[in-house]
Amino acid sequence: MSELLIEDRGGVRILTLNRPDKRNALNHALTQCLLAALHDAEADDAVRSIVLTGAGPAFCAGADLTEFKDLTPDKAHLVESRAELTMSLHGVFSRLSKPVVTAINGAAMGGGAGLALAGDVALMASTAKLGYPEVKHGIVAAIVMANLVRNVGRKAAFELVAAGEPVDAARACALGMVNRVTAPEELMAEACAVGEKFAAVHRPAMAATKQLFYRVLDLPFAQALEEGRDINQRMRAFQKS
């Protein structure tokens, strides 16, 4: 059985993490598959937007802890390659020109919470929870912290990673971690509707909008204005007639 399901609905590509018996935990194989699938969607001209969700009751339980037994100091090459792969996965979302909608159907923990927030837009089932329990396992919510602190205020973000307690969907929405909360049975329909709305946007305009959004996110104000000016000048070339 494939660890990642891929389905196209018009211009929307749906990627479904498919290890339901492991709560869709990210082992090495699934992490590689998901990263490759995101790159493939980016390269496919027929794909205009992406929806990411999980099979079964969970969205993603984070890293597959059963693989940690091999990630020891005496196997530095394995530790380094796994960290590099994880960083590549969590970093790719903002570099895609196509928008990604995450449909958080169930618990999203640790690396799973990181995936949930990595999308450009996040929808969350009312029954789902989201959290960063790494400290409770004696480790750090390390790579996923970069997206968290860019989505949530400092005080809330610190409490999430330092206490390790999950939040429910209503709290996640109030903190700005997700765009909105839906009934579980309506989640995929709403996520696909958002994906279809994005897919209908003029492609060069969408790509430039997303590129500029993530560039100005971390720039000083004056420099962000300059980036906006440059895009403002460029966009005349790809305006629809």
Same domain, 190 and 128: yes
Q: What values do phi and psi take at 110, rounded to 5?
A: 60, -120
pLDDT per residue as tens digits for the range 98-130: 999 999 999 999 999 999 999 999 999 999 999
Residues 88 and 82: their CA atoms lie apart, in Å, by 10
Same domain, 211 and 93: no
Same domain, 208 and 176: no
pLDDT per residue as tens digits for the range 211-233: 999 999 989 999 999 999 998 88
pLDDT per residue as tens digits for the range 171-205: 999 999 999 999 999 999 999 999 999 999 999 99
Same domain, 43 and 110: yes
Distance (Å) of CA 68 to CA 72, 73, 75: 8, 11, 11
- What percent of the chain shows pLDDT beyond 90? 84
Same domain, 102 and 193: yes
| CATH number for position 91 | 3.90.226.10
Same domain, 82 and 63: yes
Q: How many CA atoms lie within 13 A of 83 on its CB side?
A: 12
Question: Is residue 134 among the annotated active site residues?
Answer: yes
Distance (Å) of CA 160 to CA 7, 59, 97, 132: 34, 18, 30, 6
Helix (H, G, I), strand (E, B) or coil at 179: coil
If you average pLDDT over every residue of the chain, what do you get?
93
Task: Say how far residue 1 (Cα) sits from the centre of its chain.
Answer: 23
Question: Which one has a higher pLDDT value, 137 or 128?
Answer: 128
Same domain, 171 and 126: yes
Tell whether the model's pLDDT for residue 241 goes beyond 60: no
| Annotated active-site residue in 7, 134, 159, 227 | 134
Same domain, 138 and 165: yes
Same domain, 166 and 188: yes
Same domain, 207 and 114: no
Model-level pTM?
Answer: 0.93
Same domain, 172 and 226: no
Total tally of structural domains belonging to the chain = 2
- Which tokens is 206 given? 């969408």
Same domain, 158 and 211: no
Domain assignment of residue 209, given as a range = 202-237
pLDDT per residue as tens digits for the range 145-161: 999 999 999 999 999 99
